[in-house]
Amino acid sequence: MVEYVEVVFFSKNTMDFEKSRLDRYIKRVYGKLIPQAMIEKSLRNKDILVNGKKAKSSDKIVNEDDVFVSSFATRIFANAYCKEKTESNLDYSKYLGQFKDMVIYEDSDLIIINKPSGLAVQLGSKTKISVDVMAKAYNPEARLVHRIDKETSGITMLSKNLETSRYMLHLFQNKQIHKKYYLVVSGKLPMVKGIINKPLSKINESVVVDLVNGKEAITEFKIIKNLTSNRTLIEAKPLTGRTHQIRVHMASIDYPILGDKKYDGKINKYLHLHSHEVSFMTRYGKLLIKKAPLPEYFR
C-alpha cells in the first residue's frame, strides 16, 4: 500500500487554483524546475491522486479538489529541485547567515522566521533568491507550510519533517491556526474596531470585492494607536484565508494599507503589512504563541 500525504500549501481556504492544470499546480508547489517526465511517471504510478483517483497532467483542478502526493514522490521532487539548483552553479550557501538571522523560533518540528519585506517565499522566474532556497541551505528537510506575499513581512513557518507538514496543513484547513497582522493605513478611522465581511473573487492577478459570486472573506480589526495625525497602526485578524484578503478589505473601506501599490495605497518604499503573531496547538499538545517584531519603518 502506498502512503499518501496531502500536498503542503493546498487548502480550500488559503489558495486559489481554480481551473489550474494539475502539472502546473505540482510545479507551483514543489518548484518550477521539476521535470515534466518525473510528474508524468508519478501520475502513471499513482503517486499523485486527485480525490483519491488516478489523474492526468492536463486535468484541471478546482479549489474543492483534494490533491495527494505519496511520500516517495515528495522525496524525488525535492531531490530533483535541489539537484537542478546545485547544477545551476548558483551558490545559495552564502545566504545561510541571512536565514539564521531571520529565525525567531525552532524546535524538532518547526522553524519560524521573521521574513523581511521584498523577499519571496518561493523561487520563480523573476526571483533569484527566496525563503525556500535559503532554508535548504539551513536545513535540507525544511519545507514551507504556508505563504505570505513577497511584499508582506513577518512570520513565515517551515516544517522539518513530513509528519509536521501534514499536521500543519490539517490545522490550516480546519482554521486552527490563528494569525494577527499589524498594518499602517493613512488617516484616522472613525471606529475603534470593526468587522469587514465582504466576499472576494480573484480576477487575473488582482482580487476584488464580489458580492454576487465571491467567496466568503471576514476580517476583524482594531486600532492599536495613532502614529501621526494621518497614520494609524491597526491589528487585523483574518477569520478566513483569501488571497490579499486584508489588503483588499482595508482598501474597500477607503483605508488602503500604506505602500500597497496594487490596491491604491499611498506610495511608500514598503508595504506596511506585517504578519505579527501566530498561535496554535503543536502536535504534542502544547500551545505555541510566537510574535515577530515590527520592522523599523512601522514606527
CA nearest 137: which of 76, 95, 88? 95
Give the DSSP letter string of 94-125.
GGHHHHHHHEEEE-SSEEEEEEPTT-BSS--T
State the CB neighbour count (10 A cutoff) for residue 106.
14
d(CA 265, CA 263): 6
Q: Give me the half-sphere count of Cα atoms (radius 13 Å) on the Cβ side of residue 253.
A: 23
Asked if residues 77 and 51 have their Cβ atoms less than 8 Å apart, the reply is: no
What are the grid coordinates assigned to 100, written together?
539564521
DSSP state of 57: T
Give catalytic residue positions.
149
Residue 232 identity: T
Asked if residues 295 and 153 have their Cβ atoms less than 8 Å apart, the reply is: yes
Instruction: Answer positive or negative: Cα dihedral of 233, 237, 242, 248.
Output: negative
Residue with cell 513577497: 150
Total H helices, total E strands in the chain: 7, 18
Asked if residues 257 and 183 have their Cβ atoms less than 8 Å apart, the reply is: yes
